[in-house]
A and B are shown apart, each in its own frame.
Chain A
Amino acid sequence: MERLQLHSQIKGVSTGTTILAVKFNGGVIIGSDSRASMGESYVSSKTINKLIQVHDRIFCCISGSLADAQAVTKMAKFQLSFHSIQMDSPPLVKAAASIMKELCYNNKEELQAGFITAGWDRKKGPQIYTVALGGMMLSQPFAIGGSGSTYIYGYVDAKFKPDMTLEEATQFSKNALALAMGRDNVSGGVVHLVVITEAGAKHVVVPGDKLPKFHNE
């Protein structure tokens, strides 16, 4: 299988992805595609879920090397649940993002994975934090990541409005993901969406044929 990997920068299976997170009125929507690739020409899985639940109302979107991302999120999930028991209250989204940032920054030589941590907590409501490759943590009203995100920077910059309703935010996410998956060869499959609010987290899968279509498709 090495010959499938000749020119890839990422060792092993890569999530080669499009991930995004958007704040709306009352919560956060996060979304991703579902393709895992080895090199640029072999899809090793068509149905992986890149939205990992690290706590009841906190999710992490993964991008980069699949092995590194799975190891880091498993570690973060463990540390976060321990922290939550010690504090005797649900953890803050910033705490989850901090844990990811510590792991990424302290092991920056060995790891090749980036994350978007998003969720809802009692103190500050819906929040989104990007944790980049070297361990930078940044809070944003919306975030995109992965190899497919480069194709939709223009779209999200133009179309994002603060304080959208759930329907508007869902449509915005589906459009952005569909556009990225249409242009990036290592993003594809189905769209996974999770809506996180005070009430909890709801997971929706949008199959390929139900995605919005654009001109000449």
Chain B
Amino acid sequence: MLNTSRKWQNPSGGFSFENTRRNAVLETSLSEKGYSAPKARKTGTTIAGIIFKDGVILGADTRATDDMVVADKNCMKIHYISPKIYCCGAGVAADAEVTTQMMSSNVELHSLSTGRPPLVVTVTRMLKQMLFRYQGHIGSSLIVGGVDVNGPQLYSVYPHGSYDKLPFLTMGSGAAAAVSVFEDRFKLNMELEEGKQLMRDAITAGIFCDLGSGSNVDLCVITEKGVDYLRGYDQPAQKEQKEGTYRYKPGTTAVLTETVTPLTLDLVEESVQVMDTK
């Protein structure tokens, strides 16, 4: 806790965001000339979590975008933290990936040190302390969900370090689309199938109504008994069959003129290298 109370000192190792001011100046001078700085790849995502009768269900789409191009059609956005705690990541893809990996290692060490299985609130606190220390420069929004001795829990952590504890949560660019499904149909203590259907519908809303989300729906169901990671639970956006064929017979395009220019080449040197093809 004391590591957030000391006055700000530039860290000697690890991340350094000193260049953000210089980059901002460079970006404005570049844009005057008509160029634009490269942008970090974002997951442009829909992620969501709900608490149901027996535990937690986390859901995510699987599209990673690079500005307006889909960089990865089937990436995994639900990351492992500990045996009964998983974390969905939105925002900058690299930040979300590395942050969750760091948390997973730190939580494992902490759990070995205390001799107890980790608590979801521990993961949330470590995440928010780290993200607050970096003042929002680490662009990852996360939904942490899991089951521990205190029962099923669900937290969201924002890039600047604030957090929320709620029975249903959505984050990412498709958050508005997904939360509208939850606002309409969420009930406390739902059954497993009902919960999975609701989550599937919420992520599908994000996939169809948000340009940054797409491809498949991934679900992760966490209960007392264990974890059920359903990769590719649903594929709502199938590629359609092409109506016509685009093959043309040779001779479809008429040849109007034909000119042949022979290129006379002299053989200057010949060398043979035998390849071992066995």
Chain A residue contacts of B1, Cβ below 8 A = 74-75, 78
Stretch at the interface among A41-49, A83-91, A143-151: A41-49
Known A12-B158, A110-B8; judge A70-B163 contact (CB<8 A).
yes
Chain A residue contacts of B100, Cβ below 8 A = none
- Find the B residue at minimum CB distance from A45: B164
Bound together, the chains give a CA A106 to CA B173 distance in angstroms of 36
Task: Contact check, B135 vs A70: say whether CB atoms are below 8 A apart.
Answer: no
A70-129: which have CB < 8 Å to B? 70-71, 74-75, 78-79, 103, 106-107, 110
- Find the B residue at minimum CB distance from A78: B1
Known A12-B158, A13-B160; judge A1-B141 contact (CB<8 A).
yes
Is residue B277 contacting chain A, with contact meaning CB distance below 8 A? no
Bound together, the chains give a CA A68 to CA B166 distance in angstroms of 20
Bound together, the chains give a CA A11 to CA B173 distance in angstroms of 17
Instruction: Identify the interface centre among B160, B161, B163, B164: most chain A CB within 10 Å of its CB.
Output: B160
Bound together, the chains give a CA A48 to CA B198 distance in angstroms of 24
- Find the B residue at minimum CB distance from A38: B158
Chain B residue contacts of A71, Cβ below 8 A = 4, 128, 132, 161
Cβ contact of B161, chosen from A70, A79, A107, cutoff 8 A: A70
Bound together, the chains give a CA A45 to CA B175 distance in angstroms of 12
Chain B residue contacts of A30, Cβ below 8 A = none
Query: How many chain-A residues does the 8 Å CB contact rule pick out?
Result: 25
Chain B residue contacts of A70, Cβ below 8 A = 128, 161-163
Cβ contact of A75, chosen from B5, B8, B135, B161, cutoff 8 A: B5
Chain A residue contacts of B131, Cβ below 8 A = 67
Q: How far is the CB of B203 from chain A (nearest CB, A)?
A: 16
Bound together, the chains give a CA A13 to CA B136 distance in angstroms of 11
- Find the A residue at minimum CB distance from B161: A67
Known A1-B175, A75-B1, A78-B1; judge A67-B158 contact (CB<8 A).
yes
Task: Contact check, A1 vs B164: say whether CB atoms are below 8 A apart.
Answer: no
Is residue B202 contacting chain A, with contact meaning CB distance below 8 A? no
Known A11-B136, A71-B4, A110-B8; judge A1-B171 contact (CB<8 A).
yes
Query: How many chain-B residues does the 8 Å CB contact rule pick out?
Result: 26
Is residue B152 contacting chain A, with contact meaning CB distance below 8 A? no
- Find the B residue at minimum CB distance from A74: B1
Is residue B176 contacting chain A, with contact meaning CB distance below 8 A? yes
Chain B residue contacts of A36, Cβ below 8 A = 162, 164
Chain A residue contacts of B159, Cβ below 8 A = 12
Is residue A65 contacting chain B, with contact meaning CB distance below 8 A? yes
Q: How far is the CB of A39 from chain B (nearest CB, A)?
A: 12
- Find the B residue at minimum CB distance from A3: B173
Chain A residue contacts of B22, Cβ below 8 A = none
Instruction: Identify the interface centre among B8, B163, B164, B166: most chain A CB within 10 Å of its CB.
Output: B164
Q: How far is the CB of B91 from chain A (nearest CB, A)?
A: 8
B127-167: which have CB < 8 Å to A? 128, 131-132, 135-136, 141, 158-164, 166
Q: How far is the CB of B276 from chain A (nearest CB, A)?
A: 56
Q: How far is the CB of A40 from chain B (nearest CB, A)?
A: 14
A1-35: which have CB < 8 Å to B? 1, 3, 11-13
Known A107-B7, A110-B135; judge A67-B175 contact (CB<8 A).
no
Is residue B172 contacting chain A, with contact meaning CB distance below 8 A? yes
Task: Contact check, B132 vs A42: say whether CB atoms are below 8 A apart.
Answer: no
Chain B residue contacts of A186, Cβ below 8 A = none
Bound together, the chains give a CA A75 to CA B160 distance in angstroms of 17
Q: Which residues of B come within 8 Å of A, CB atoms?
A: 1, 4-5, 7-8, 90-91, 128, 131-132, 135-136, 141, 158-164, 166, 171-173, 175-176
New A-B pairs, 16, CB < 8 Å, besides A44-B164, A74-B1: A1-B171, A11-B136, A12-B158, A12-B162, A13-B158, A36-B162, A36-B164, A42-B176, A45-B164, A48-B164, A66-B158, A67-B131, A67-B160, A70-B162, A71-B161, A110-B135
Q: Which residues of A come within 8 Å of B, CB atoms?
A: 1, 3, 11-13, 36, 42, 44-45, 47-48, 65-68, 70-71, 74-75, 78-79, 103, 106-107, 110
Provide a sorted-by-A list of 30 A–B residue pairs whose CB atoms are within 8 angstroms. A1-B91, A1-B172, A1-B173, A11-B136, A12-B136, A12-B158, A12-B161, A36-B162, A36-B164, A42-B176, A47-B166, A48-B164, A67-B131, A67-B132, A67-B136, A67-B158, A68-B160, A70-B128, A70-B161, A74-B1, A75-B1, A75-B4, A78-B1, A79-B5, A103-B5, A106-B7, A107-B7, A107-B8, A110-B8, A110-B135
For the complex of A and B, 8 pairs with smallest distance between CB atoms = A12-B160, A66-B162, A67-B162, A67-B161, A67-B160, A13-B162, A71-B132, A45-B164
